[in-house]
Chains A and B, each alone.
Chain A
Amino acid sequence: MKSIAELEEIRKKTLEKISLRTNADGIRVVVGMATCGIAAGARPVMNAFVEEINKRSLNNVSVSMTGCIGVCKLEPVVEVIDKDGNKTTYVKMTAEKAARVVVEHIVNGQVCLDLTIGAVEK
């Protein structure tokens, strides 16, 4: 028999699993997954995001994909959109850089400036 505490545990765990059906106000990570993105290695980047977010049980973060953002030479491109709609565009991403973005930006709110499109284009 399950106790009330156990039910609460199930509730929490399952909500995390299905959070992408529920949260509208969390942080969104959008990975460019057009042909150019995929060719440049966007899939491992996206998987890294999913894995890191999972590892830290961040249930207000969703990872989704989008088409070509337009700067194919800078792919893989990843955009992080916060609750207020502010957008940060990261370019030339790798799985390692993804892990850093999760820790520094998503968890601690510090944008990884050196990875953003502004820094790379300079």
Chain B
Amino acid sequence: MHLYRAHVLVCAGTGCTSSNSVKVMEEMNTLLLANKLDKEVQIVKTGCFGLCAEGPIVVVYPEGAMYTRVEVSDVKEIVEEHLLKGRIVKRLLAGEKEAEDISKSLEGVDFFKRQTRIALRNCGLINPENIDEYIAFDGYKALEKVLTEMKPEEVIDVMKQSGLRGRGGAGFPTGLKWSFAAQQVNDVKYVCCNADEGDPGAFMDRSVLEGDPHSLIEAMAIAGYAIGSSQGFVYVRAEYPIAVKRLQIAIEQAKEYGLLGDNILGTGFKFDLEIRLGAGAFVCGEETALMTSIEGHRGEPRPRPPFPAVKGLWQKPSILNNVETYANIPVIILKGAEWFSSIGTEKSKGTKVFAIGGKINNTGLVEVPMGTTLREVVYDIGGGIPKGKKFKAAQMGGPSGGCVPAEHLDIPIDYDSLLSIGAMMGSGGLIVMDEDTCMVDIAKFFLEFTVDESCGKCPPCRIGTKRMLEILTRITEGKGEEGDIEKLEELAKNIKTAALCGLGQTAPNPILSTIRYFRDEYEAHIKDKKCTAGVCTAMLQYTIDAAKCKSCGLCAKVCPMNCISGEKKVPYVIDQAKCAKCGACVEKCPFKAISKI
């Protein structure tokens, strides 16, 4: 065994990989060899640290120095200054780079200080492709414990007492779901994992798969033991290649160690796991559609009941949980239901992972105790809105959720509080919007997604959402009519009651919540033909202020439509009929004479 004096952790999650962390790692390797440091310093590839906006991330232990936005050209300095001479490269450290007080460790950064990491406990700490590292951090200890010390009923009791609710969207109590499947008498039962994550802006599950795949395997084996199943399936979208590869490696390693397969840990328990790749259809994240897809059919939902716990995959009793839900389970077994239920609020226990994006400084992945306020997430962890703009709303829960306006910034984030204001926890996508966002346009964006992704099986979803989109499109084009809002509300109500599956039933939520909180914007679009946020181009007009215009002609040069004219000493004018409203002239004008109204 070789001991190293320093470990260099390089994030290899999708976010950092796309910002070139692989090249950084290769350069690090080359330079360590060149400086004969390869025997002293070990490079470790890890999963997502969560601070994706600042990637690629490199953390050097034992100091815990966290370097952000590391470029290939920076590696030389890290090796020569930090690793060779022991001087931390301050200019690459996380945190306010200009400030005097730079935090040199991961834990010292505000972004991390306010988080409680349970599901993400190993992400960014261990090498996901090395089972030994997972084992070192108490991995597979929970499986040992249930197989040797607990009866299946006891495992389910712990889950019930912990208060864990599904992290995939609806928030159904996990222990209860397991107990339904456990009660069924059947030789064959299945344990399924939903890793089909399809909400725009969400990537929690992907990060767990990429950063800590063994925690999923361990949890699914525990679930198998609890309900009496010996076969599991992980349904993951093929659009997640890194996640799929790491999960494959992890499954192979687990099989090699006998942690999957027959007679696990010599206890006689048998459990095996297979991956099923999905084509990336939103509806395949709905539980019955997902199971239909695993069976090899077109992924369409079917009516419930019977619920999957009674008749699921191939008509056998089956449970389905999402990745994040599973990631919590080994810790709950080890630390106990009481510990878990002490975190969070009365009806929402534990923590929730959010993928925060949009108009926010720290886009990335965060895990906070339930009951943390939206304000804390947006301002304390997320670092607030860029360019000093005002917070307008946060879209939570993806196409099934809704918008939380500024007046509700202090709402504690838990399942029931969010529902009470017309939003939803959902899987944890959190998109922040500032004053430049048009709420009608946002509703249209989410509806476009739903219309594209509707599987088409039931008419309310297939036709109803399409009709709503037509109305919304009309409104944003300045052709809205009196009564459109009421029509939207009526359609929404009918779709909610009549759609076959959860996705159709929740599809109108983005519209309903934007109407609820931003009705005036809808009205301005319809009655005054005005988009107050200045987004809907059909209602915009660019004009040149004759008093400010110095007739320099720069605007005319940059105009792609050749619709600006004028001459020396005569103010320029825009031909409104030809204007494409691209805004290129506004940026070019040195005298700020052009404005949009």
Kindly supply a per-residue 1/0 record for chain B positions 75-94, scoring 1 wherever the CB is within 8 Å of any chain A CB and 0 otherwise.
00000000011110000000
CB distance from B215 to the nearest CB of A (A): 15
- The size of the chain A interface, using a CB distance under 8 A, is 33
Asked if B547 is at the interface (CB within 8 A of a chain A CB), the reply is no
B87 touches A67 (CB 8 A): yes
Task: Tell me, in angstroms, the Cα distance from A54 to B138 when the chains sit together.
Answer: 22
- Which residue of A1, A18, A38, A50 is within 8 Å of B5 (Cβ)? A50
Task: Tell me, in angstroms, the Cα distance from A33 to B85 when the chains sit together.
Answer: 5
Residues of the B chain whose Cβ atoms lie less than 8 Å from the Cβ of A31: 86
Using known A-B contacts A10-B132, A20-B7, determine if residue A64 contacts B86 with beta carbons closer than 8 Å.
yes
A11 touches B85 (CB 8 A): no
Give the tally of cross-chain contacts (CB within 8 A): 97
A17 touches B84 (CB 8 A): no
Asked if B61 is at the interface (CB within 8 A of a chain A CB), the reply is yes
Residues of the B chain whose Cβ atoms lie less than 8 Å from the Cβ of A7: 135, 140-141, 144, 257, 265
Using known A-B contacts A4-B144, A34-B85, A47-B40, determine if residue A13 contacts B1 with beta carbons closer than 8 Å.
yes
A21 touches B61 (CB 8 A): yes
- Which of A11, A46, A62 counts the most B-chain CB atoms under 10 A from its CB? A11
Residues of the B chain whose Cβ atoms lie less than 8 Å from the Cβ of A64: 5-6, 62-63, 86
Task: Tell me, in angstroms, the Cα distance from A10 to B265 when the chains sit together.
Answer: 14
- The size of the chain B interface, using a CB distance under 8 A, is 35
Asked if A15 is at the interface (CB within 8 A of a chain B CB), the reply is yes
Task: Tell me, in angstroms, the Cα distance from A64 to B62 when the chains sit together.
Answer: 7
CB distance from B87 to the nearest CB of A (A): 5
B148 touches A4 (CB 8 A): yes
- Which residue of A18, A35, A63 is within 8 Å of B85 (Cβ)? A35
Asked if B125 is at the interface (CB within 8 A of a chain A CB), the reply is yes
- Which residue of A11, A20, A32 is within 8 Å of B135 (Cβ)? A11
Asked if B259 is at the interface (CB within 8 A of a chain A CB), the reply is yes
**Chain A residue nearest in CB terms to B132:** A14
**Chain B residue nearest in CB terms to A32:** B86
CB distance from B140 to the nearest CB of A (A): 6
Asked if A92 is at the interface (CB within 8 A of a chain B CB), the reply is no
Residues of the B chain whose Cβ atoms lie less than 8 Å from the Cβ of A2: 257-259, 265
CB distance from B288 to the nearest CB of A (A): 36
Task: Tell me, in angstroms, the Cα distance from A47 to B2 when the chains sit together.
Answer: 12
A17 touches B86 (CB 8 A): no
Asked if A53 is at the interface (CB within 8 A of a chain B CB), the reply is yes
CB distance from B484 to the nearest CB of A (A): 58
Using known A-B contacts A7-B135, A21-B61, determine if residue A34 contacts B86 with beta carbons closer than 8 Å.
yes
Residues of the A chain whose Cβ atoms lie less than 8 Å from the Cβ of B266: 1, 3-4
Task: Tell me, in angstroms, the Cα distance from A65 to B79 when the chains sit together.
Answer: 13
Asked if A110 is at the interface (CB within 8 A of a chain B CB), the reply is no
Task: Tell me, in angstroms, the Cα distance from A75 to B85 when the chains sit together.
Answer: 14
- Which of B6, B86, B138, B261 counts the most A-chain CB atoms under 10 A from its CB? B86
B132 touches A38 (CB 8 A): no
Residues of the A chain whose Cβ atoms lie less than 8 Å from the Cβ of B133: 14, 18
- Which residue of B3, B9, B40, B265 is within 8 Å of A17 (Cβ)? B3
CB distance from A69 to the nearest CB of B (A): 11
**Chain A residue nearest in CB terms to B258:** A1
Residues of the A chain whose Cβ atoms lie less than 8 Å from the Cβ of B258: 1-2
Task: Tell me, in angstroms, the Cα distance from A106 to B40 when the chains sit together.
Answer: 21
Asked if B577 is at the interface (CB within 8 A of a chain A CB), the reply is no
- Which residue of B62, B135, B136, B265 is within 8 Å of A28 (Cβ)? B62
- Which residue of B6, B136, B140, B263 is within 8 Å of A15 (Cβ)? B136
**Chain A residue nearest in CB terms to B145:** A4
B265 touches A4 (CB 8 A): yes
Task: Tell me, in angstroms, the Cα distance from A121 to B1 when the chains sit together.
Answer: 39
CB distance from A88 to the nearest CB of B (A): 18
B86 touches A50 (CB 8 A): no
Task: Tell me, in angstroms, the Cα distance from A62 to B266 when the chains sit together.
Answer: 37
- Which of B126, B136, B138, B265 counts the most A-chain CB atoms under 10 A from its CB? B136
**Chain B residue nearest in CB terms to A13:** B1
CB distance from A96 to the nearest CB of B (A): 19
CB distance from B136 to the nearest CB of A (A): 4
B86 touches A66 (CB 8 A): yes
Residues of the A chain whose Cβ atoms lie less than 8 Å from the Cβ of B62: 20-21, 28, 62-64
B87 touches A63 (CB 8 A): no
Residues of the B chain whose Cβ atoms lie less than 8 Å from the Cβ of A63: 5, 62
Residues of the B chain whose Cβ atoms lie less than 8 Å from the Cβ of A20: 4-7, 61-62
Task: Tell me, in angstroms, the Cα distance from A38 to B37 when the chains sit together.
Answer: 14
Using known A-B contacts A2-B258, A15-B136, A17-B1, determine if residue A67 contacts B7 with beta carbons closer than 8 Å.
no
Residues of the B chain whose Cβ atoms lie less than 8 Å from the Cβ of A21: 7, 9, 61-62, 125
Residues of the A chain whose Cβ atoms lie less than 8 Å from the Cβ of B61: 20-21
CB distance from B270 to the nearest CB of A (A): 12
CB distance from A49 to the nearest CB of B (A): 8
Residues of the B chain whose Cβ atoms lie less than 8 Å from the Cβ of A53: 3
B86 touches A14 (CB 8 A): no
Kindly supply a per-residue 1/0 record for chain B positions 1-34, scoring 1 wherever the CB is within 8 Å of any chain A CB and 0 otherwise.
1111111010000000000000000000000000
Residues of A within 8 A of B (CB): 1-4, 7, 10-11, 13-18, 20-21, 28, 31-35, 38, 46-47, 50, 53-54, 62-67
Q: List the 8 shortest-distance A-B pairs measured between CB atoms, nearest first.
A: A1-B258, A65-B86, A14-B136, A54-B3, A20-B62, A33-B86, A14-B132, A15-B136
* Given contact pairs A17-B1, A65-B85, a sample of 7 additional A-B residue pairs in the complex whose CB atoms are under 8 Å apart: A1-B257, A1-B263, A2-B258, A11-B138, A17-B3, A18-B126, A32-B86
The 6 listed contacts between A and B (C-beta, < 8 Å) are A4-B144, A13-B1, A14-B133, A18-B7, A46-B40, A63-B62
Residues of B within 8 A of A (CB): 1-7, 9, 40, 61-63, 84-87, 125-126, 132-133, 135-136, 138, 140-141, 144, 148, 257-259, 261, 263-266
